[in-house]
Amino acid sequence: MAEKEPGQDFGDADDPRLAALDQRLAKAKADGAARQGVKVDADRGYSQGSRVISALIGSLVGSALIGWLFDRWFGTAPWALIVMLFLGIGVAFRQIIRISGERPE
């Protein structure tokens, strides 16, 4: 907005009223969660996401390695690898569903 026009420029983030409002809202949310017995954990989503990624990568890499070893030992190239990858995908999805279904503490 032009400087001589009436109104407020909402692009200015240094407004102390907005900062005070943000603080009051955060305090009210924390108080409401404490009254309801809900534990506020900001790192829970990050932790759960890390568990999902590690389950996905770990089961796929592990099953691929086992399938490759079976192919080398028994000479069944690429069938054991393919079968083990599909089993690894199934295990990964099962773990992801189990992790996502956990109840918050």
User: Exposure string (b/e) for 72-94, b if CB count within 10 Å is 16 or more?
Assistant: eeeeeeeebbeebbeebeebbee
Instruction: Report the pLDDT value the prediction gives residue 54, as an integer from 0 to 100.
Output: 95
**pLDDT value of position 10:** 59
DSSP 6: S
pLDDT at position 71, please? 94
Which pLDDT score is estimated for 19? Answer: 82
What pLDDT, in 10s, does the model give residues 72-90?
Answer: 999 988 999 999 999 999 9
